[in-house]
A = this chain, B = another copy of it.
Amino acid sequence: MSVESVLIPFKNQQHNHESCIKSALADAEAACSKAGMRLTKIRRQVFELVWSSHAPVKAYDILAQLHQENPRAAPPTVYRALDFLLSVGLVHRIESLNAYIGCGDPSQPHIGQFLICEACGAVAEMNAQKITRLLRKQAEQLGFKTVNQLVEIRGLCPQCT
């Protein structure tokens, strides 16, 4: 697997996560600006909360955090912001967890393949063309035209093995 296909590797606990967040925010500004979309205060807050760790975050947990700064926030507040971030490709939804995680490379919209640690909750993101192509090819052999793909792999990350 080429290194390019790893969008977010598993990080050690000591890594400087502030710099992850800072870099993600810069990417988000760039992506929104490029798309002519507005990264409003609420959207930015939700984005930062999604990026608060490398584990997926749940909508109602985001809401609880958001309440600290914005007592008027309600479920639609969060879901609208998440829908926006999803549409711009800044976050991904982990279907098997009903949770959301920051995208490792919003510069190129993609679907992503996720490795989910069942012990610590950490998630790594890949975008391996080899997988994408094989899935598409296998589907084709059944006469199926692929629109998009969902790949979520559960197991144990390097730290937890």
Contacts and interface: CB of A to CB of B under 8 A. Distances in A.
State the copy count for this chain. 2
Contact of A142 (B6, B118, B150): B6
Given A149-B151, A150-B96, A1 B156 contact: no
A62 interface: no
Given A95-B95, A95-B96, A142 B115 contact: yes
A128 B150 CA distance: 16
A75 interface: no
A155 B147 contact: yes
Contacts of A126: 138, 142
Contact of A155 (B96, B115, B145): B145
Contacts of A146: 153-155
A113 B145 CA distance: 15
Given A149-B151, A151-B151, A157 B135 contact: no
